[in-house]
Every structure is written in C-alpha cells, then in structure tokens.
Amino acid sequence: MAWFGDGLPSLSNLKGQLTSFTKEVLSEGIVDEMDERSRALKEANEKCVELQEILNSKDAEKINRWLDLTGQQIMKVARVKNIEILEIMQMDRRHDSEKI
C-alpha cells in the first residue's frame, strides 16, 4: 500500500490541475455565450427600433391619406351645400319677385 500513499500528492495535484482547467474552460464558454447573447440581444433591439420606425412612418402615411380623403370629402360636401344655398337664394329671389 506504500505505492498508494506515495501517489496521493500527485493525484491531489492532478485533481487541482483538472479543477483549474475545468473552471477556465467553463468560464471561457460562459463569456463567449454571454457575448453571443449580448450580440443577439443588440441585433434584436436594433430590429425592433427599425420596425417601430417603419410602423410610425406607415401610421403617418395612413393618417395623411385619411386627412387627404377627409379633406376631399369635406370639399365635396361644401360644394354641394354651396349649390344648395345658391338654389335656395334663387328660389327666394323668384318668390320675392313674384310678390311684387
């Protein structure tokens, strides 16, 4: 059993080396994984900002289109009402001239 007792310090040393190596490998892997996740998160955030800008511009386009159409509809209604007012005024003039 003397051979076993003599090997303990070297086994302990080997265990320490393996532990250090394992910690080093794992920490490098974690750092790389965190860097990759950070990069992916940054890209996702940039894409979100880009999509929000597109949505905002599309919303602005829709609002402008709606305002244009609404303005056109108001102008049509105003023309029709103006014609109706002119017709009423002409009818009143005729009615007034018939009284005389």
Q: What is the pLDDT of residues 53-83, one digit of tens each?
A: 998 999 989 998 999 999 999 999 999 999 9
3-class secondary structure, 1: coil
Angle ∠(53,58,62) on CA atoms, nearest 5: 150
15/32 Cα distance (integer angstroms)? 26
- What are the b/e assignments for 16-54, b being 16+ CB within 10 Å? eeeeeeeeeeeeeeeeeeeeeeeeeeeeeeeeeeeeeee
pLDDT for position 1 = 45
Task: Decide if pLDDT at 98 tops 90.
Answer: no
Considering the entire predicted model, what is its pTM? 0.43
Q: What is the pLDDT of residues 16-44, one digit of tens each?
A: 787 887 777 766 666 667 778 888 889 99
- The residue ranking higher by pLDDT, 18 or 4, is 18
